[in-house]
Amino acid sequence: MVTIPINSILLSISFQFEFYPLLIVICLAFLIPILLSLLNLGKIPTVIVEIILGYMVGKFLFPVLPDFNTESLDFLALSGFMFLMFLGGLEIDVNGIVQSFPRKKLTAKSFGQNPLLVGILYFLISLALSIGLAELLSIFIHVSSPLYFALIMVTTSVGIILPVLKGHNMLNSSFGQMVITAAALADILSILLFSFTAYILKHGFESKLLLILGLFLLFYILYRMGQRLTKKTFVKRIAHQLSHASSQIQIRGTLFLILLFIVIAQFIGPEVMLLGAFLAGLLISVFMNKNRSILLIKLDGMGYGFFIPVFFIMVGVQFDDSALLEMGNSPLLFLLLLLVSMYLIKILPAFLWKKRFGTKQAMAGGVLMASRLSLIIAASKIGLDFGIISPGINAAFVLMAVLTCLISPMVFNNLISKNILTGDKHIIIGGSSTGVLLARRLKMHGTKAILLENDEQRYKELKNKGMTIINADGTDPSIFFELDLYPDNYIVVLTHSEQRNIEICRMLKTIFNHDNIITKASDKLIEQELNKLKVDYVDSHRIMATTLENLIFRPTTYHALVETFENYQVEDIKLSNPNISGLQVKDVPFHKDGQLILVRQEQKVDIPHGNTLLKKGDIITVMGTEPALEDFREKFKE
């Protein structure tokens, strides 16, 4: 039996690295969020403070430390850099972008309402402006590659835009979706363009360039494999069994995937590594339910808890302010022109949104799109490392990242309309008891409802009760211009006169070409008029008959639904989550305050039980409290 001395094993591990530089960096990373919280500066992005304090440490502390070596910090910073790009890909809602692909014949109206098509046009205009302004700025300072300079300027930051929109409760609004899609496309297309451009500028056009397409082939192959494997019961079982304790198979698999893309990209060329990490994030994003995923929490913890703070602090440590002197005697003039240019290339294309959202809101969106953070630093660092841009330009872009992340959210908050009339809402014309009840029910669903009432006394009465109401005549078109009517806003017409209802519906159709209109009808002549106008309506006699039928045959259920509406609601949800598809009802942990009522599978309707198999495309009727319904939505929707 051969005995291996323990010393021979330990000798293979070097203990010569100095850990105190890492201790300083991690200490900063730990203290910065606490400092921002204590100073009530939570709206300032943490990474901005990390860069600033990193600069101070690099300028005043690290130079005086004995035997200072950044080798380990440089490796961790590079790892954080790659992890940042991976999480950037993970932020992209790939399925949301795919769902925006036009499926019908395009018209000018449908084009303007499609976030994907408008986002692509927005990016192309931004890119054209960026190239023109890069050529203009090259008059003031030598730029070896105006094209790459322009690609750096055209970047944006989804990581800044998402929390700002979320803070305004605009994530799911039409405006929010437009901005998010445009930002996601800017991220994807920017990374693609500057990865190819950096490679071409360094190596020229060569056959190896085609290997970059191999990354996309790998992405497609793994995507197809993932689609099949995630449906297999044994894969789900193994993933669940090995996702906890010491196995952490999901984390290990994710790290394997990141490194697989990075190593292949590194083989093609170091300048392509960024694209590899980003594609790994996109791939995981396709299969992950971000609202409920424990994996996402763990990845965020690894990234933002350790690797990414090291990267941003090291960006500050390595920031060379003296490089700005290469811009001559007036670096401030160049920096000001660069800042203005970076806002112009985002604000001017935002006027694509003017017709739909108004000038002020469109400008607010453009200002928010001008915020840049990780991607601009990443693109600039790649350009610096490969000699495409100078140290001075790199320093200028790092400054721009800091400034735009501070300026854009503040300006957006001031520009975005606080007017209750604008934004996503539904409009109810007529302050009758039915209209008031509908407004209250819509509010319970988290939807803004605005009442229009012509009678001044009734208006004052409802306003005193806290209703969102306007004293206006529903037949007056000017009020709908003031309301900044969106195509997806519903208008419910419930005045005291059905002839007046028809008059309002006709005006909305002819002047505004509005589609989402609902009213009531009590006889065949009214129904015929509404059918000609293509307006949806409810038959009041049929509704009354159905209500009476329910009271006769289902009195307990009827009273339970009507009298407990504030506590329990019924909703139809289409199952689109591939992780739930193929499971039985008993295998899914549903919220304790919710219940499945019906499952519609094509033409068949079943009452679900424990062994009922859930399939993608099923329409599932659920009942429960609002938290339970939210849980159902998160589980069933992709």
Distance between first and last Cα of the chain = 58
Judge whether residue 473 has pLDDT over 80.
yes
Give pLDDT tens digits for 362-374.
Answer: 899 999 999 887 7
Q: Does domain 426-547 have CATH number 3.40.50.720?
A: yes
pLDDT of 343 above 90:
yes
* pLDDT, tens digit, 9 for 90 and up, residues 617-635: 888 888 777 777 777 888 8
Q: pLDDT, tens digit, for every residue of 521-572?
A: 888 888 888 999 889 988 877 877 877 877 788 777 666 666 555 556 778 8
The DSSP annotation for 500-564 comes to HHHHHHHHHHHHH----EEEEE-SHHHHHHHHHHT-EEEEHHHHHHHHHHHHHH-HHHHHHHHHT
Whether the per-residue pLDDT at 74 is higher than 70: the answer is yes
Secondary-structure breakdown of the chain: helix, strand, coil percentages, each rounded to the nearest 5? 65, 10, 30
180 pLDDT band, cuts 50/70/90, is confident
Residue 24 has pLDDT above 90, yes or no: no
In the prediction, which pLDDT does 421 show?
60
> Could you tell me whether strands 426-429 and 449-453 are parallel, antiparallel, or unpaired per DSSP bridges?
parallel
Going across the sheet that includes 469-471, the strands are 469-471, 449-453, 426-429, 491-493, 517-521, 536-539
The Cα–Cα gap between 286 and 223 comes to: 8
* 578 neighbors 635 (Cβ within 8 angstroms): no
pLDDT of residue 219 exceeding 90: no
Model pLDDT, residue 214: 83
pLDDT at 464: 82
Is pLDDT at 290 greater than 60 in this prediction? no
Domain boundaries, the chain: 20-415, 426-547, 567-636
Q: Which pLDDT belongs to residue 482?
A: 75
Per-residue model confidence (pLDDT) at position 496:
86
The pLDDT confidence band at residue 447, using thresholds 50, 70 and 90, is confident
Residue 200: is its pLDDT beyond 70? Answer: yes
Q: What is the pLDDT of residue 292?
A: 47
Across the range 257-264, mean pLDDT stands at 90
Is the pLDDT confidence value at 243 over 70?
Answer: no
- Give 113 or 22, the one with higher predicted confidence: 22
* Residue 587 in this model has a pLDDT that exceeds 80: no
- Confidence band for 349, pLDDT divided at 50, 70 and 90: very high
Average pLDDT, the chain: 81
Predicted pLDDT of residue 1: 47
Query: Which of 360-369, 443-452, 607-616 shows the lowest per-residue confidence on average (mean pLDDT)?
Result: 443-452
Comparing C-alpha atoms, which of 285, 294, 317 is closest to residue 76? 317
Is residue 101 scored above 80 in pLDDT? no
Confidence (pTM): 0.63
Residue 252: what pLDDT?
Answer: 85
Q: What does the block give as tokens for 484?
A: 């900044």
Name the CATH superfamily, with its identifier, for domain 567-636: Regulator of K+ conductance, C-terminal domain (3.30.70.1450)
According to the model, what pLDDT value does residue 565 have? 52
- The CA distances from residue 304 to 27, 299, 300, 466, in Å, are 14, 8, 6, 43
More confident residue, 267 or 5: 267
**Residue pLDDT, tens place only, 488-524:** 788 999 988 888 999 999 999 988 888 889 998 888 8
The fold for domain 20-415 equals Na+/H+ antiporter like fold (1.20.1530)
205-219, 417-431, 592-606: the lowest-pLDDT one: 417-431
User: Could you give the CA distance from residue 155 to residue 527 in angstroms, rounded to a whole number?
Assistant: 53
Band the pLDDT of 169: cuts 50, 70, 90.
low
Average pLDDT over residues 112-116: 79
Residue 9: the pLDDT is 47
Q: Compute the average pLDDT of residues 158-164.
A: 77
Q: For the chain, what's the residue count? A: 638
